[in-house]
Chain A
Amino acid sequence: MTEQIDKALAREYEAGFVSDVESETFEPGLDENVIRRISEMKGEPEWMLEWRLSAFREWLEMEEPEWALVDYPKIDFQSISYYSAPKSMKDKPKSLDEVDPELLRTYEKLGIPLIEQQMLAGIAVDAVFDSVSVVTTFREKLEEAGVIFCPISEALHKYPDLVKKYIGSVVPKKDNYYAALNCAVFTDGSFVYIPKGTRCPMELSTYFRINEQNTGQFERTLIIADEGSHVSYLEGCTAPQRDENQLHAAVVELVAMDNAEIKYSTVQNWYPGDENGKGGIYNFVTKRGICHTNAKISWTQVETGSSVTWKYPSCILKGDNSVGEFYSVALTRGRQQADTGTKMIHIGKNTKSTIISKGISAGRSNNSYRGLVRMNPGAEGARNFTQCDSLLIGDQCGAHTFPYVESRNPSAIIEHEATTSKVSDEQMFLCRQRGLDPEKAVSMIVNGFCKEVFKELPMEFAVEAGKLLEISLEGSVG
């Protein structure tokens, strides 16, 4: 089986092409001057620049975390370029007709047509290319409902008070090393505001694409669901196939006010590197949401890309009766390393959290679940249920589980279940005996293993996610 797994690693990464777009890119390097220039390019208000600079000063004092079960060479932050944007975006195109066709073609090739007539009805897309947002679709329709969905750089101009009030309110500037770096140098990302009592009329989605070489991508997403509102948001990401590693350090903050609900889904398919672990994206991401009374935040992620993933979408269950959910599929193959999980911080009474994590390891990869469940003293009657399942393909990969539990309230109930299984020879034989080829057999077995998570994804994306797994597993068994 191992030999065939190795063969699988030579598989094609379909999103690995480079777009021929003329870009304006900062020379590599990081100092206060670079941050001033980013802020100036974006025409930001003074307070934003000050905020960035203070984060940068904090960052300089901080140490890169080493506790995760991932191994990669030290990153030289001076060799990275912190801003890159297609030249054609300089004088902001006012409509789709003015957007560089090459950019539109890029997204089309990735299966994300940005021409509204061709799009999946019911999904609005913000397309972020390197450091800038290229286009946001269906804006008028959303505006009718009072929903704001725009690049965060634009929100800083149009809705500075909202941004100022909430940015950094869930993930503080010096929360961690990469979050602090993001605060200093973030370039673009999406901003969403759903007004009181509004059900967002369509799915919102952001599609991140890294194109330029030697650049980092530092996007920032802020979603505010006002009282009693509801929104479902999806992000996707890809990058060209390159020999050098590239850094992606994003921050996502979610605010769910009383009785609001946010469903945040991710299909992550950054370039994972080649079979020897050369190249690929370092995906160091901080995602966190806060739930007020009766609010609910649900994180669903399907992680198949990146050479190194370090990511723990979390919920602060501050309000009484609030609910946090984390559904995750993380697939690693080749030399990929993933250390991912969640944190559920129960503060309010009768708060509830559910964690379902499915880790699949193939090749010589390493896949770790790391999760924290904390019951604060005031979390009377709080409950958590955690289920961590690992599936191994072949015998050279690793799966690890690190559950941390801190319970300071005796009435809180915490349940934890964990299993490890293999794609067995018997299962493979049964499938092949019925006429399925080995690839189809594995992808079917893996899809079955992930079913509980896939059913949490919005319908269109559940199909996409299934296909993505199929492609990712191409040839990974015999």
Chain B
Amino acid sequence: MSNTNSLLTIKDLHASVEEKQIIKGLDLDIKPGEVHAIMGPNGAGKSTLGYVLSGRDSYSVDSGSVTLDGEDLLEMETEDRARAGLFLAFQYPVEIPGVSNLEFLKASVDAQRQARGEEAITSADFLKEAKAACKQVNLPVAFLKRGVNEGFSGGEKKRNELMQMLLLKPKLCILDETDSGLDIDALQIVAEGVNSQRSADRSFIVVTHYQRLLDYIKPDFVHVLSDGKIVKSGDASLALELEAQGYSWLQKEPVEDELEG
């Protein structure tokens, strides 16, 4: 097979949380520069996939393999995956009271630079970059001084996630419903932010419920994730089809064995 130049390759992945199997045999191959949209009903396992790929503690892989740039991703610690260029924009960003956004971001950037054997960025340089990133996502510069997500509105949190992405310059960006809860202007800002970062060596997984986002961010592929598996893949037109018809035509018969375990 031709995985040699893939950025991310997921093969027959099975994963569970709290003993409950959520990802049930998932395959996905992403080449550098590609944008893959993942859609699918609530509870399908979209966020879980993001957590499993980034190595969240309570999520365990039962079988299958994942490589990032040819390296075994599943063997790596959470922070090493981040340092290898994997970024997750959270569906529900968490607050860290008292830790300023600026401090948090600089520490993150420095941790990643250090892992690459680079010097820490000077505070002056970083401040310049951070201010520019604020501007790009249309957050007032004062947000750099505030505690991470502390008291941010839903939409502000999402834009803050995007700002982090702009500063960390990852290779693989997983955006988990970064468009949910955004007003129309913010949606456009986020889309522009993503588009500005599209390049031949950066790939995206965009999880969304709304085809509207995909009008702005043109995906190379659209996948439907349902009950822990990708049940359908296609090009951008698949999103339109889903918008019109919903998911029911793709789903299997109601799963009877669920309750029995």
**A binding-site residues for B, Cβ under 8 Å:** 424-438, 440, 444-445, 447-452, 478
Contacts and interface: CB of A to CB of B under 8 A. Distances in A.
B224 to A, nearest CB: 26
Contacts of B90: 430
A426 B99 contact: no
Contacts, number: 75
A447 to B, nearest CB: 7
Interface of B: 54-58, 77-79, 81-83, 87-88, 90, 93-94, 96-99, 103-104, 107-108, 111-112, 115, 147-148, 164, 168
B58 A425 contact: yes
Of A427, A434, A440, A447, most B-chain CB atoms within 10 Å: A434
Nearest to A451: B98
A437 B94 contact: no
10 contacts: A425-B57, A425-B58, A429-B54, A430-B94, A431-B96, A431-B104, A433-B82, A447-B98, A449-B98, A478-B57
Given A425-B58, A429-B57, A444-B103, A434 B164 contact: yes
B94 A436 contact: no
A227 to B, nearest CB: 38
B99 to A, nearest CB: 3
SS of A interface (majority): helix
Nearest to A429: B56
Contacts of A424: 94
A436 B99 contact: no
B82 A434 contact: yes
Contact of A444 (B78, B107, B164): B107
Given A433-B88, A435-B111, A447 B99 contact: yes
B58 A437 contact: no
Of B55, B81, B96, most A-chain CB atoms within 10 Å: B96
B16 to A, nearest CB: 17
A448 B97 contact: yes
Contact of A434 (B55, B56, B108): B108
A433 B50 CA distance: 11
A428 B112 CA distance: 16
A436 B54 CA distance: 13
Nearest to B110: A435
A452 B87 CA distance: 31
B172 to A, nearest CB: 12
A426 B57 CA distance: 10
Contacts of B115: 435
Given A429-B56, A440-B111, A435 B82 contact: yes
Contacts of B108: 431, 434-436
